[in-house]
Chains A and B, each alone.
Chain A
Amino acid sequence: MPYLPHSPDDVRRALETIGVDSIDALFDELPSELRDPAIALPPALDETALMAHLRALAARDTATGPNFLGGGMRRHFIPAVTPHLALQSEFVTAYTPYQPEVAQGVLQATFEFQTMMAELTGLDVANASLYDGATAVAEAALLSVRHTGHERVLVSRGVHPETRAVLATYLHALGIVIEVMDLDGGRTPVPASLPGAACVIAQQPNHLGALEDMSGLAQAAHAGGALLVAAVDPVSLAVLKPPGAYGADVAVGDGQTLGNPPAFGGPSFGFMVVRQELLRQLPGRLVGATTDVEGRRAYVLTLQAREQHIRRSKAKSNICSNHQLTALMATVNMAALGPQGLREVAVGSVVQAHRLADRLRSEGARLALEVPFFNEFVLLTRHSALRVRSALAARGVHAGVPIGAEYGLGNAVSLAATELVSDEDIEALVSALRAGGELERSEVHHG
């Protein structure tokens, strides 16, 4: 049997040592009426047959071709050195670093991750990771409620709809009220007053690709005694003003774009970075620097009294496993790119997205908004978003994240570009849209 080392003699020796007759006898205490039910599983495959089966499945997927999909995940340049280093078996097959004397690899890499995330966001303390960007936003809302004592959360409609859905799921059970702030011209208007709110949550760039007035939102939040939670794309922070600089108290987001493949949505990782005074409200693991008995620098999980294995029902969150390995991918990748490389990734994305927008305008296409955008924007289409996406896929182009009816834009898709998008890719998308009749100026159907 694969992966099991015991020979029949080993099994006999083990049974003799234990003093039972058979492996089945080890299960004699289990109620007999429960034992050995009929379970329908497909037959076992040897390694060759397994890989053939999986390749046959993978052949029904298409991952190649020009790709303009965004909406929270994107394909960016991942140099070969990144997975080579991050996926060394010592990192892949390690457990949570509870014995720091033999876990300095994971611990130090996490400390370096925390440093890089604090640098990117301009805030003080990053945790070791959360599950994804959406759950990070939900955890940020809970942190804000704990910190302020207010049980009302304001979230911009510019925050990704799936993120808002997760927020609703998490907060419903605790009776925390969520109010959605509508957009005006694709951006979140700065509210006049916000009494009794725990936080304002806004996304930069927002779900329609537009750049928000985050400084204005921060001032409004603070004037009302609320925190500003900034949901950010970490790649954008190579050029955009960091959350710490515009007054955000908490920066959260999804780390996929920092060096993980999209993997049909996961695993990526969530991050959370806060101002110093919120440190003890942070959920999840934290790595700190200290020394060993010989005075050598060393790293260790710290401030664990916030966590479930110590505080149980009083913990800041129930999170145990985080997303260490995908965060390590980002750590290696950020070090591989450096400030210049990450800037080139971000700028390349901006440049190609604007080149695409210009080409589409020149073809008579209508963009939903005429406001500054980063690397993603919304195109109004003649046909429904799902139909547009499928028609493009049939022409070998992956593009067209559906923009929901809640935005009141009629038929609309978002298009994103990254530094991996070539000028030829742009022409392929333009001609595929033209062939589908999506660029005809005459008529724009709504609904």
Chain B
Amino acid sequence: MAEPRHADFPGIYERSRPKRRAARPPRHEPSDLAALLGEEQLRDAPPRLPEVSELDLVRHFTQLAHRQFSIDGNVYPLGSCTMKYNPKVHEEAAKLFQDLHPYQAPETAQGTLQLLFELQRDLGALTGMDAVSLQPAAGAHGELTGILMIRAYHEARGEGDQRRLVIVPDGAHGTNPATASMAGYSVVEVKSDARGEVDLDAFKQMLGQQVAAVMLTNPNTVGVFETHILDIARLAHEAGAQLYYDGANLNAIVGRVRPGDMGFDVVHLNLHKTFTTPHGGGGPGTGPIGVKAHLADFLPVPVVIEEDGAYALSEDVRHSIGRMRSFYGNVGNLVRAYAYIRRLGLEGLRRVSGHAVLNANYLRVKMEQAGFTVPFERLNMHEFVAQPPEGIRTLDVAKALLDYGMHPMTVYFPLIVKEAMMVEPTETESLETLDAYADALGDILGRAAKEPGYLEGAPYATPVRRLDEVTAARKPVLRYAFDGERG
């Protein structure tokens, strides 16, 4: 790597000086490690970790935080990501439970276990499912858990060898086909119809005794409700397939309709979406799954049970697929989701979905007025897909938005819409914010018409401007180059 230029933001290693330090752990009498552990087990030289003072450390990570966009900073309407406000009381709640060790005696963890048990119950009620596992560490992890359960179910019925296919819509999240592959299945895509829904005729043609599962998101990734869902469920079940619900878009319907009532057999929830645990710059998420009774015997272990008022972790699940991770789940996030459900109650959650859909439709109208088009002319749910005017690239509009201090929508997804902009404002944004967002988009189109090169050059005012992503991939530099090393 080249010498840092004056304009380069310093790296932690560039702030490092030998023998400087910040934190000091408790000291103990030193010991002869070679005698205790064996000389051959010891490393020759210490790892090159940064050596900085506490204030340098504070400055570094505070300045880095200032170079980071966040919901707390401004609107972040990424479609399918549900970037809603993360209530601060949840952070206080999580701290109450963060010091427990997973292997401490269960009688010393009754409060946490009760919370987990009640959350299993409440998520089951909200999804219309009979049994819930809180284990999965993310949405995609929940998908894998659910599909492995479906696989185990077919195997238990002697149909494991014949059912080799998973059907996903052509607009599906990338995790759906990737999950099916990871569970050892082949994937076939069903096309969408002119209204943005699963093409029912095409779907019927694909069904058969070779199909293990159908994975759907409802509302789907173009933000419309699959209105034929009851027919889809009936057809899938008649063919012996199981119906999987990708819960990424549950925020549209929470408290109003339930995947279980639609006929889904398995559902995963993204607690970092609908139930507003923080995204953390890319995780940790949390992806609990709910299943109908006929799949309950296949749940991963352990599950949280209650007997005579005492809570415990049980490995007693007859045909369990096994473990999906160590310990019991991302408990810190489960506490936050529990706090959210208890704070809002059913009526509050119904308003969440109602206002999420209200805001999305409002912003759709405002964006249409600003010159954008929508491929599916109908009311949308919690998100919608739009397109820029002919000749304008979505990527350029997204980059220009950054100069307005606003985060772009999800771009180029779903793949079935050209120059797709998938917009999900969420229920926690005010109308003024949505107006400002649409105004900024209109302003961008206006400037683009008047100023050649403006759009292609954007952004101008961000901490860094457009990056050379091609070189990043062709000549990957994936760690700091210490003196004398080639970058």
Contacts and interface: CB of A to CB of B under 8 A. Distances in A.
Given A93-B70, A335-B52, A350-B31, A26 B64 contact: no
Nearest to A413: B103
Nearest to B323: A165
B36 A102 contact: no
Contacts of B262: 34
Contact of A264 (B65, B224, B331, B343): B331
B211 to A, nearest CB: 15
A100 B110 CA distance: 44
A238 B110 contact: no
Contact of A26 (B20, B345, B361): B361
Nearest to A142: B182
B138 A320 contact: yes
A134 B27 contact: no
Contacts of A321: 138-140, 272, 279, 282-285
B466 A101 contact: yes
A264 B327 contact: yes
Interface in B1-17: 1, 4-5, 7-9, 11-13
A1 interface: yes
Interface in A5-52: 5-6, 10-11, 13-15, 17-20, 23-24, 26-31, 33-37, 39-47, 50-51
B151 interface: yes
Contacts, number: 684
A131 B465 CA distance: 31
A438 interface: no
Interface in A232-246: 237-242, 245
B9 to A, nearest CB: 7
A312 B96 CA distance: 39
A261 B98 contact: yes
24 contacts: A3-B427, A29-B378, A69-B103, A79-B22, A85-B62, A94-B69, A97-B281, A102-B68, A105-B64, A105-B66, A119-B47, A122-B43, A125-B478, A160-B326, A237-B43, A264-B102, A264-B328, A289-B477, A292-B467, A296-B5, A318-B143, A324-B282, A338-B22, A342-B49
B365 to A, nearest CB: 5
Closest 9 CB pairs of A and B: A265-B327, A105-B68, A325-B280, A44-B345, A60-B111, A265-B102, A79-B23, A267-B284, A308-B178
A351 B31 contact: yes
Nearest to A108: B64
A345 B408 CA distance: 43
Contacts of A374: 37
Contacts of A87: 91
B294 to A, nearest CB: 20
Interface string A318-336: 1111111110100011111
B38 interface: yes
Interface in A107-157: 108-109, 111-112, 114-116, 118-120, 122, 124-126, 128-129, 131-135
Interface stretch (B76-84, B199-207, B237-245, B385-393): B76-84
Given A101-B462, A173-B183, A318-B175, A43 B327 contact: no
B344 A1 contact: yes
A96 B133 CA distance: 26
Given A99-B408, A302-B476, A333-B23, 8 more contacts: A58-B111, A92-B70, A104-B64, A285-B282, A296-B5, A323-B283, A334-B50, A347-B31
B448 interface: no
Contacts of B139: 320-321
A239 B42 contact: yes
Interface in A180-229: 211, 215
Contacts of A93: 70-73, 86, 278-279
A419 interface: yes
A339 B46 contact: yes
A292 B67 contact: no
Nearest to A211: B41
A269 B332 CA distance: 13
Contacts of B322: 165-166, 168-169, 172
Contact of A67 (B61, B101, B122, B348): B101
Interface in B355-412: 355, 357-359, 361-362, 365-366, 378-379, 398-399, 402, 407-408
A279 interface: yes
A102 B407 contact: yes
B101 A372 contact: no
A252 interface: no
B339 interface: yes
A300 B101 contact: no
A44 B342 contact: yes
B352 interface: yes
A292 B20 contact: no
Of A89, A102, A305, the most chain B CB neighbours within 10 A belong to A102
B194 interface: no
Given A62-B108, A95-B78, A101 B72 contact: no
Contact of A335 (B12, B29, B62, B71): B12
Contacts of A131: 137-138, 141, 284, 325
B247 interface: no
A354 B28 CA distance: 12
B89 A51 contact: yes
A160 B326 CA distance: 9
A315 B282 contact: no
Contacts of B417: none
B125 A29 contact: no
Nearest to A67: B101
B37 A372 contact: yes
Given A63-B100, A336-B57, A104 B67 contact: yes
A84 B467 CA distance: 30
A362 interface: no
Nearest to B434: A14
Interface string A55-79: 1111111111001010111111101
B28 to A, nearest CB: 5
Contact of B72 (A90, A109, A126, A343): A90
B283 A297 contact: no
B234 interface: no
A100 B173 CA distance: 22
A446 interface: no
A314 interface: yes
Contact of A350 (B37, B108, B399): B37
A104 B398 contact: no
A187 B87 CA distance: 49
A343 B42 CA distance: 12
A380 B178 CA distance: 46
A14 B479 CA distance: 49
A81 interface: yes
Interface in B118-163: 118, 122, 125-126, 128, 137-141, 143-144, 148, 151
Nearest to B121: A40
Contacts of B138: 131, 319-322
